[in-house]
Amino acid sequence: MRVRVATFNLENLDHRPDQKPSLDTRIEALRPALVRLDADVLCLQEVNAQGAKHRTLEALEALLVGTPYAGFERVATESDSGKPFRDVQNLVTLSHFPISSHEQLHHDLVKPPVYELATVADGSHDSREISWDRPILYTRHSLESETGIPDGTGLHIVNVRFRAPLAAHITGKKTGAFEWADAASWAEGFLLQV
C-alpha cells in the first residue's frame, strides 16, 4: 500500500486586505500545487489565524475548497494559552487517515538552555535562554481501516517549521539589517537563532 506524505510552507497564508498578492491570487497558484502533491497526509506551515476573539483558519479553509484535503481530518497548533490557533505561523496537519492522537511540544521535554553571550558590545556577561520560537506538532494516524495493518501500528508524523537561517540580534553587534560588526558576532547570533 502506498502512503504519500507531503509538506508545504504556505508563507504566512492570510486574508488581510493589505496583503500583496491577495489571497485570491495566492489560491490560484497554491491550490493546483497542493492537489498535484496527491498526499494522504499533508503537513502545512505558516498558516495565520483570523479573528481576535474567535480565531479561525478562514484563509486555509478558502484554499482547501474543492480539493480532496477539504474533507481530511486536521489538527493545528494552539496558542500558548491553549486556545485554538496561534496568531501567526500555525502548523496544520491534514490526514486522509483517522488521527488517533496529537500533541503540541514546546520545551515540554527539555527546558531551554541558558547561554552566556561572548560577543556583547559592552563586555557585560549577558545571558539568555535559547528557546524554540515555534512549537512542534506531533500526530499519530491510524492506518488500520485502510490497510488491514493492526491498529497498534500507526503512522507517526512530526510537523515542524524552524526559523529562517538568519542570525539573532546581539546588542551593539548588528550594524544594519544584514550587516554585522564582525564574524564572531554573526556566528554567535546564528547559533542563537532557533
Whole-angstrom Cα distance, residue 5 to residue 116?
40
148 confidence band (pLDDT: 50, 70, 90): low
More confident residue, 164 or 96: 96
Q: Establish if 74 belongs to a structural domain.
A: yes
Q: Establish if 51 belongs to a structural domain.
A: yes
More confident residue, 121 or 176: 176
More confident residue, 176 or 18: 18
Asked if 99 and 141 touch (Cβ cutoff 8 Å), the reply is yes
pTM over cut 0.85: no
Q: Establish if 118 belongs to a structural domain.
A: no
Q: Establish if 83 belongs to a structural domain.
A: yes
80 to each of 84, 85, 141, 151, 189, how far by Cα in Å?
9, 9, 25, 32, 25
CATH classification of the domain holding 36: 3.60.10.10
Count other Cβ atoms within 10 Å, centred on residue 127: 11
If one counts the domains in the chain, the total is 1
Domain that holds residue 150: 5-109+135-162
Half-sphere exposure of 51 (CA within 13 A, CB side): 10
User: Residue 40 has which C-alpha cell?
Assistant: 494522504
Q: Establish if 180 belongs to a structural domain.
A: no
Asked if 40 and 96 touch (Cβ cutoff 8 Å), the reply is yes
